[in-house]
Amino acid sequence: MPVNLSAPVAADLLPVAGVELGVAEAGIKRANRKDLLVIRLCEGATVAGVFTTNRFCAAPVTVAKQHLAAAQDIRALVVNTGNANAGTGEPGMAAARATCSELAHLLGLAPEQVLPYSTGVIMEPLPVEKIVAGLPQAIADLKADNWFDAAQAIMTTDIVAKAVSRQVSIGGRTITVTGMSKGSGMIHPNMATMLGYIATDAAVAQPLLQKMVRDAADCSFNCISVDGDTSTNDALMLMATGQSEVVIDAANRAALQTVINEVATLLAQAIVRDGEGATKFITIRIEGGHSEAECKQIGYAIAHSPLVKTAFFASDPNLGRILAAIGYAGITDLDVAALQVYLDDVLVTEQGGRAASYREEDGARVMQQSDITIRVVLNRGTASATLWTCDFSYDYVKINASYRS
Amino acid sequence: MPVNLSAPVAADLLPVAGVELGVAEAGIKRANRKDLLVIRLCEGATVAGVFTTNRFCAAPVTVAKQHLAAAQDIRALVVNTGNANAGTGEPGMAAARATCSELAHLLGLAPEQVLPYSTGVIMEPLPVEKIVAGLPQAIADLKADNWFDAAQAIMTTDIVAKAVSRQVSIGGRTITVTGMSKGSGMIHPNMATMLGYIATDAAVAQPLLQKMVRDAADCSFNCISVDGDTSTNDALMLMATGQSEVVIDAANRAALQTVINEVATLLAQAIVRDGEGATKFITIRIEGGHSEAECKQIGYAIAHSPLVKTAFFASDPNLGRILAAIGYAGITDLDVAALQVYLDDVLVTEQGGRAASYREEDGARVMQQSDITIRVVLNRGTASATLWTCDFSYDYVKINASYRS
C-alpha cells in the first residue's frame, strides 16, 4: 500500500485555463480500463520537456524530442498506457508517428504539433489501431476540469493516482500550477521521470520554460529511486498556456519556479510513496560533501542497496548495511572516521563505529515509523543533496514477478 | 536452494602439504556451531591477497594488510564468523590485533605473522574474549586433511560449503591447488570476494604470488554479483607452501595460473549458485565492446537490475527489461540498433527491437532452465567480459529481512 499517500480529491485539482484533457478506454492491454489520454493546449501555449537518457529510449521519446525541436506551437499531447513502445525499432517509430498523425488530423493540426508518450511493457508492438480507434472517445471527453480522470488514465502498476495543484500570486494576479505523474517501478529517473505533466496559465517563452523544467526535474524527479532502473520512457513536460496574461521573465521567475518545484517534488515523492511494494518512505539527506554530485553518489548507493532496503522493510536497525553502502559508493578518499550517520534524530555512527550514545531501542523505535530520514554528515565540505526512496518488500518481488503475465 | 550446486565431498578435497586447518565452536553468535578457523602454514610459505575497496573496510582487513606489508613470513590466518568487526572504529582495530596477538602467543609466533578475517553482522563489537577462549580448541584440531570442516566453519548465510581441489603437472611433478570460499549475500566483490582461501604446494615468491592472486580475482570473484552490495570484509588469499619443491617463475607460471583461476572461478560461481534466495544461475556474456570495462559496465547494469532479476525468478521472458538495463548502463554513444541480445541460443533483439525470428515460446522455454546465459553482442569492438549473477526471489527478501534477528 502507498506510504502516507492518499489519492487526490477531484475537487482539489484546479483547472489550468488553456488546458483540456480527455480520456478513453482503448483496450490497449486490458478492456474496461482508462488507458488513453489526450491533452489539448490553447493557441500560443509553450511546451518544454526533459526526457530519459536511456540509450534504448522509446520511440515516442524520440518522436516527441523531434517534434519539440521542429515546432514552436505544440498543441496536443497523447499518452497511452499498457505498452511502452520501447525496444520496438523502426516499426515502433512508425507507430508513434501514426498516432500523432491521426490525432493531428482529428484536431486540425499538423503532426509535428502533437507529442506522443507511452508507458507499459517493453519490446512488444504498439497496437496503434486500438489507439487510433480510441482517439475520438478521448477527444469527445476533452474538458478543463478533467485532471482527476487524466491522472488515472496514465497509471500502470500505480495503486493511487498522483496529481496536485498550487496557486501563487505574481504581479497581483493568481497563477495556477497543476501537475500529475505516474510511476511505481523502473524508477531511477535520469533527466526526468516516468511520466510527469505540469501545466500553468502563466505566459513563459519556450527557452525560459525549458530552463524551468530542467530545474524542476533536478530537484524532484531526478532525486528519487524505487529500484535503480532508469526507464526507457521517462518524460517530464511543462506547459504554459499564458491565459492568465501574466508574463514570466528573469525578474519574476523565482516565484513561479518555487511553486513548480513544489508541485514537481510532491509528484516525485508520490511515486516513491507508491513505489512497488513500498511500506516505508525513506528520505536520504547527505550533508557536508565536497560537491552535490558526491552527495548524490553516496545517497544513491544507500538508496539502491537491496540489503539496506530489506532491513527497512523488516524494521530492523541493521544499520551496518548503511555504512557498507557509504563505503562502496566510490568516493575513494572518504574518511569514514570523520562522518556521522543519523536515523531521524538518533546519532548512529561516529569515529568509524557505533556512536557511544547509540542504543538499539532508539534505532528500533525510528525503524517502526513509515517515514524515516537517514542523514549522513560527511564533514568535508558544504554541499548537500536530498533523495527519496522506499524499502524492498515481498510485494516488490510479487509485483515484478507477475507484472507482465 | 543452491542452483545446481552440491556440497563438496570431504574425500575430494586434497590436503596441501604445509597447510593445516583447525576449527572450533566459539559461540560467537550462536552456540553449537563451527565459527572459528585457524590456518597454520609451514615455514617458508608465501602469502598474497586482495581486499575490499569499501571505504568502511573492516578492522581485520586493515590489520591483515598491515601485517602482510610488515612481515615476509606469514605463518597463520584466523577467521571468525558471526561478526564482521566492521564499522567498529578503534575498538574494532584493538580487537583484531588482540586476536592476532593471542594466536601468535599460542603458536610461538610474532603477532605480525598472523592475519585476521571476520564475517557476519556489521557495526557490533567483536566478542574477542569468545574468540580467544576458542583458539586452543581450534589449534588442537589442526590437521592437513581438514578442508571440509574449514569450509563449513566460515559459512554465514551460505546453505552449502564451497571448496574444490585441482592438480596440475609442472616439470614432471604434481602440484595441488585446494581452495574454499564463503558468501551468499552482500556480494559484488570489487578486488576480491567475501572470503576466499586458496592454497598450493608450489613454491612462489611473494611478488609473483601477488600478481597471481590479482589475476585470479579479476577473472573470478570480481565477475560475480548477487545483490550489488560490495562487502566491508572481502578478502581473497593465495598461499604457497613450496612443499612440492616445484619453483614457479615467469616461464612456468601459466600452468599454475590456469588451475588457480579455475579453482577461483568455481569458488566464485559457487557463491552465486548459493546466492541468497537464488533459483537461477545467470551467465552474462557481453561481446564486441570497445573495452572490457565497457562490457562489464553493461553486464553489471543487467546483473543489478531488480526488474531483470525478478523476471528471471518468475521464468517470465519479459526481456525488454534487459534492453532497458543495457540502455541505462551509461555508454552514451551506444548504438542500440546495432546490437543483438541472445537468451542461450535464442536471438531476442536486433535492429533496436524484437527479432523477427523471435517466438515467445522459445524465450519461455529457456527461462524455465535453472542455468541461463544472456549474451549481448555489441558489434563495436573486440573486447568481451563474462559475469555471473542470480535471480531475485521472495526468499532473498525473507533472508535479508530476518538475517540479523
Same-domain status, B249 and B314: no
Same-domain status, A91 and A192: yes
Beta strands in A191-323 (DSSP E): 195-200, 203-204, 224-225, 235-240, 247-248, 281-289
- As a whole-number percent, the residues of chain B with pLDDT over 70 amount to 98
Here the contacts of B28-31 (C-beta below 8 Å, separation 24 or greater) are B28/B80, B28/B81, B28/B82, B28/B83, B28/B120, B28/B127, B28/B130, B28/B131, B28/B134, B29/B81, B29/B82, B29/B83, B29/B120, B29/B121, B30/B82
Return the bridge partners of A224, or none. Answer: A388
Selected residue of A29, A55, A334 to mutate for chain B interface (largest B Cβ count, 10 A): A55
User: What DSSP designation does B31 have?
Assistant: S
Same-domain status, B240 and B369: no
- Is residue B286 within 8 Å of B384, Cβ to Cβ? yes
Per-residue model confidence (pLDDT) at position A193: 57
Same-domain status, B263 and B287: no
Question: Which residues make Cβ contacts (< 8 Å) with residue A318, sequence separation at least 6?
Answer: A311, B121, B122, B403, B404
A395 neighbourhood in chain B, CB within 8 Å: none
Per-residue model confidence (pLDDT) at position A405: 44
**pLDDT: which is higher, A396 or A366:** A366
- Is residue A83 within 8 Å of A124, Cβ to Cβ? yes
| Contact state of A304 with B91 under an 8 Å Cβ cutoff | no
Does residue B311 fall inside a structural domain? Answer: yes
Beta strands in B171-310 (DSSP E): 173-182, 195-200, 203-204, 224-225, 235-240, 247-248, 281-289
B307 neighbourhood in chain A, CB within 8 Å: 185-186, 227, 229, 400
Which residue among B57, B84, B229 sits closest to A325, beta carbon to beta carbon? B229
pLDDT in tens, A46-55: 999 999 888 8
A331 neighbourhood in chain B, CB within 8 Å: 55
pLDDT in tens, A115-172: 999 998 888 999 999 999 999 999 999 999 999 999 999 998 888 999 999 999 998 9
Q: A254 phi and psi, to 5 degrees?
A: -60, -40
Per-residue model confidence (pLDDT) at position A190: 65
Q: Which residue has the cell 524532484?
A: A220
Question: Which residues make Cβ contacts (< 8 Å) with residue A399, sequence separation at least 6?
Answer: A157, A185, A276, A277
pLDDT in tens, B257-297: 999 999 999 998 999 999 889 999 999 999 999 999 999 99
Beta strands in A212-257 (DSSP E): 224-225, 235-240, 247-248
Same-domain status, B177 and B246: yes
Catalytic residue among A81, A99, A193, A279: A193
Same-domain status, A256 and A347: no
- Cα–Cα distances in Å, from B276 out to A165, B1, B225, B241? 45, 9, 11, 34
Question: Which residues make Cβ contacts (< 8 Å) with residue A255, sequence separation at least 6?
Answer: A168, A169, A170
Catalytic residue among B88, B119, B156, B193: B193
User: What DSSP designation does A88 have?
Assistant: B
Does residue B346 fall inside a structural domain? Answer: yes
pLDDT in tens, A184-232: 877 777 655 578 899 999 999 999 999 999 999 999 988 888 888 888 8
- Smallest CA-to-CA distance from A248 within A316, A202, A214, A307 is with A202
pLDDT in tens, B125-173: 999 999 999 999 999 999 999 999 999 999 988 889 999 999 999 989 9
Write down which residue in B207, B241, B273 finishes a domain.
B273
Does residue A53 fall inside a structural domain? Answer: yes
Same-domain status, A360 and A306: yes
Count of CB atoms situated within 10 Å of the CB of A199? 28
Among chain B residues, CA nearest to A190: B328
- DSSP codes of every residue in A292-312: HHHHHHHHHHHHH-HHHHHHH
Q: Which residue has the cell 592437513?
A: B144
The pTM is what?
0.85
**CATH for B331:** 3.10.20.340
Same-domain status, A86 and A233: yes
Per-residue model confidence (pLDDT) at position A338: 95
Per-residue model confidence (pLDDT) at position A14: 95
Over 90: is that where the pLDDT of A372 sits?
Answer: yes
Per-residue model confidence (pLDDT) at position B215: 92
**Average of per-residue pLDDT across B89-94:** 94
Question: Which residues make Cβ contacts (< 8 Å) with residue A29, sequence separation at least 6?
Answer: A35, A81, A82, A83, A120, A121
Catalytic residue flag (residue A178): no
Distance from CA of B16 to the nearest CA of A (A): 35
Beta B235-240 vs B353-354: how paired, if at all? unpaired
Q: A355 phi and psi, to 5 degrees?
A: -65, 145
- As a whole-number percent, the residues of chain B with pLDDT over 90 amount to 77
Does residue A195 fall inside a structural domain? Answer: yes
- Smallest CA-to-CA distance from B311 within B264, B374, B383, B261 is with B374
Which residue among B88, B190, B400 sits closest to A306, beta carbon to beta carbon? B400
pLDDT in tens, B230-267: 888 888 899 999 999 999 999 999 999 999 999 999 99
Same-domain status, A47 and A84: yes
- Smallest CA-to-CA distance from A152 within A4, A14, A36 is with A36
| Contact state of B310 with A54 under an 8 Å Cβ cutoff | no
Alpha helices for B2-112 (secondary structure H): 59-70, 89-107
Tell me the HSE value of B54 on the side-chain side, using a 13 A CA sphere. Answer: 35
Per-residue model confidence (pLDDT) at position A77: 96
pLDDT in tens, A327-337: 999 999 999 99
Question: Which residues make Cβ contacts (< 8 Å) with residue A365, sequence separation at least 6?
Answer: none
Write down which residue in A248, A273, A298 finishes a domain.
A273
Over 70: is that where the pLDDT of A401 sits?
Answer: yes
- Is residue B220 within 8 Å of B234, Cβ to Cβ? no
Return the bridge partners of B307, or none. Answer: none
Same-domain status, A386 and A309: yes
Q: Which residue has the cell 532497458?
A: B324
Same-domain status, A264 and A350: no
A234 neighbourhood in chain B, CB within 8 Å: none
For residue A310, what is its C-alpha cell?
530489506
- Is residue B284 within 8 Å of B388, Cβ to Cβ? yes
Per-residue model confidence (pLDDT) at position A1: 77
Same-domain status, A263 and A154: yes
Residue B340 banded pLDDT, cuts 50, 70, 90:
very high
Does residue B374 fall inside a structural domain? Answer: yes
Does residue B5 fall inside a structural domain? Answer: no
Write down which residue in A224, A242, A273 finishes a domain.
A273
Confidence check on the interface: ipTM exceeds 0.90, yes or no: no
Q: Distance (Å, rounded) from C-alpha A214 to C-alpha A192?
A: 8
CA angle A247, A253, A257 (to 5 degrees): 120
Mean pLDDT of chain B: 92
Q: Distance (Å, rounded) from C-alpha B107 to C-alpha B123?
A: 30
* Total domain count, chain A: 2
- Is residue B258 within 8 Å of B219, Cβ to Cβ? no
Selected residue of A57, A310, A322, A405 to mutate for chain B interface (largest B Cβ count, 10 A): A310
For residue A288, what is its C-alpha cell?
557536508
Distance from CA of B57 to the nearest CA of A (A): 7
Mean pLDDT of chain A: 92
Does residue A4 fall inside a structural domain? Answer: no
- As a whole-number percent, the residues of chain A with pLDDT over 90 amount to 77
Per-residue model confidence (pLDDT) at position B405: 44
Domain extent for B265: 10-273
**pLDDT: which is higher, A285 or B397:** A285
**CATH for B70:** 3.60.70.12
Q: Distance (Å, rounded) from C-alpha B87 to C-alpha A337?
A: 9
Among chain A residues, CA nearest to B56: A327
pLDDT in tens, B178-197: 999 988 877 777 655 578 89
| Contact state of B328 with A230 under an 8 Å Cβ cutoff | yes
